Amino acid sequence: MRDIENRDDIRLMVESFYEKVKQDELISFFFSDIAQTHWEEHIPVMVDFWDSIIFDHYTYSGNPMDIHRKFHEQSHFTKEHFERWLQLFQSNLDAMFQGPNTEKTRQRVQSIAMVMELKFKDN
């Protein structure tokens, strides 16, 4: 397997991940029912997000915490939701890539999941 090397690889990673998410019984409803995701708009935003994270290109502008907070208010994220999202993302990476950029992505996705879980934890 090869490493994540460019935006085409990121697009492949993002598209294949969301295909898994759409089929997942535990978290798909966040995208279909809560966010009512328009995939043709969402995918390019996520490619920009990961391009910024992996390659420091700063193609993404936005505040993911604010966006996700709105969804959390409609249907609370649980520890199980974060674990599933992370498991799907990690297994998708494992199936497609390996190398330094893949490891950087793995570390960042773990950090993102942890921060979001802490921020949205119900008191």
In a domain, 2, yes or no: no
Cα 30 to Cα 8: distance, rounded to the nearest angstrom: 26
- Would residue 22 count as lying in a domain? yes
Range of the domain at 24: 7-119
pLDDT at 55: 97
- Residue 11: pLDDT over 70: yes
What is the count of structural domains for the chain?
A: 1
CATH number at residue 99: 1.10.490.10
Q: Does residue 99 lie in a domain region?
A: yes
Assess if residue 16 is contained within a domain.
Answer: yes
Q: What is the pLDDT of residues 91-109, one digit of tens each?
A: 999 999 999 999 999 999 9
Copy the structure tokens of residue 91: 């297994």
1 inside domain? no
Q: Could you give the CA distance from residue 73 to residue 41 in angstroms, rounded to a whole number?
A: 22
- Considering the domain boundaries, does residue 107 fall inside one? yes
* Model confidence pLDDT, tens digit, residues 46-73: 999 999 999 999 999 888 888 888 888 8
Q: Is residue 63 part of a domain?
A: yes
